[in-house]
Amino acid sequence: MNKKTLSEIDAASLRGRTVVVRADLNVPIEGGEITDDQRIRASLQTIQTLTQAGARVVLLSHLGRPKGKPSPDFSLAPVARRLDELLDCPVRFVPHPDGPEAAAAVGGLSDGSVALLENTRFLPGDTDNDPGLAASWAALGDLFVNDAFGAAHRAHASTAGLAEAMVARGGEAVAGHLMARELRFLEEALRDPERPFVAIVGGAKISSKIGVISALLPRVDRLLIGGAMANTFFRALGLDTGASLVEEDSIELARRLIEQGGERLVLPVDCIVAAELDANAVTRAVAREDVGPGDRILDIGPVTRERFSDTVRGARSIVWNGPMGVFEVAPFAEGTVQVARAVASACDDGAIGVLGGGDSAAAAERAGVVDRLTHVSTGGGASLELLAGDVLPGVESLTDRSA
């Protein structure tokens, strides 16, 4: 990565400076209570680096999809309370994402303190990448730190627009610790992986992951396919998939990928089927050739689990994005859990194991192996696009090292 990072900023130069930080504090909240604070904790290193150096920190983040207008259901107030508990400095919640009130609150910060502004997406200009809004946020300080990898694939006013506005007024825009770590692991996974290099791609649709599959297929030694997208590959092989989810308009695409991949593209040989997606459903393990007319394929089968696990345990570099089945429902979780444990086992033996965010991260959590993995991304969509070789606007807009 040729972008400047917070680690390259002289800590002594930060005292008394106002630093605008775009964090990803988009956490699940139910009844006003945070149910999973993992993204908040992932942001702490950057915030603490700044506060301990005596900077005045202005935090920006979105939460959910309030559609450009204020809503109490999407307020960051609970996040401010949690940050105040986790940090060793005061955190002031500002109930305005922009405007005179926000500017006044920021102006009143003392060295080493934090202000969290209200949800950036309460303003329609954020997702519209409004240059005036970006300039307004940039005017709050003289350094911008983008630590929101989960939003880096979007060109929003609080990400790419703010970086550009900060640079335009003579400041710098740098990657925070979390952003730098995400980019390092995800980019290195593609650039020069130690071999054998194994990719695992699951989830529902080929169409949503065609970029990742196409980017990884020429690079890997094996690419394991799971989840409902495997059904579309089965149809491309001329197999019956019963009542399973299939992307009819992607069958020809699946056929081409099978031809391209040859022995590197590995499909399930058996599956777990049921008549319905239900926690109390009667399940059967069947060969992929024996799926009945009323069957729904909802997980990889026991033979495939063992084969996939053996392949993963023998790998030295692993990239995983997407579950092997409907892991949220107990009877269909075992394939995903077993693969997660195999990735963890490989990491225990010195392999590099990198998981894309979203469902993959949730699956690793369910399997109880998060702490054994090399890196679990906080950004589902961003990790997908980076693995597919796409340029991320939130990264591209940062200051180059050579600048």
| Alpha-carbon span 82 to 62, nearest angstrom | 16
Q: Which of 125, 171, 261, 358 is catalytic?
A: 358
Token pair for 235: 């149809």
- The active-site residue out of 64, 211, 314, 381 is 381
Residues 78 and 56: their CA atoms lie apart, in Å, by 21
Angle value at C-alpha 128, between 127 and 133, nearest 5 degrees: 90
Q: Which of 17, 22, 39, 313 is catalytic?
A: 39
**Measuring CA to CA, which residue among 143, 194, 147 is closest to residue 24?**
147
Residues 49/98, Cβ–Cβ less than 8 Å: no
**Amino acid (1-letter code) at residue 225:** I
Could you tell me if residue 350 is left (phi over 0), alpha (psi between -120 and 50 degrees) or otherwise beta? left
Q: Phi/psi at 20 (nearest 5 deg)?
A: -90, 125
Tokens 């603490």 sit on residue? 48
Residue 358 known to be catalytic:
yes
DSSP string, 119-170: -GGGSHHHHTT-HHHHHHHHTT-SEEEE--GGGTTS--IIIIIHHHHHHHTT
Catalytic one of 205, 219, 264, 316: 205
Q: How many CB atoms lie within 10 A of CB 368?
A: 12
* Per-residue DSSP letter, 110: P
Dig out the tokens for 192 from the structure. Answer: 């020069």
Element (DSSP H or E) covering residue 175: strand 172-175
Q: Tell me the sheet residues that pair with 354.
A: 319, 375
Residue 199, helix vs strand vs coil: strand
Q: Which of 191, 187, 161, 171 is nearest to 60 (CA)?
A: 161
Return all residues near 118 (Cβ < 8 A) that are at least 6 apart: 70, 75, 76, 93, 94, 95, 96, 97
The DSSP annotation for 35-103 comes to: S--HHHHHHHHHHHHHHHTT-EEEEE---S--TTS--GGG-SHHHHHHHHHHSSS-EEEES-SSSHHHH
Q: Quote the CA–CA distance of 214 and 265 in Å, as a whole number.
A: 11
Q: Is 39 a catalytic residue?
A: yes
- Residues annotated catalytic, as ranges: 39, 205, 358, 381
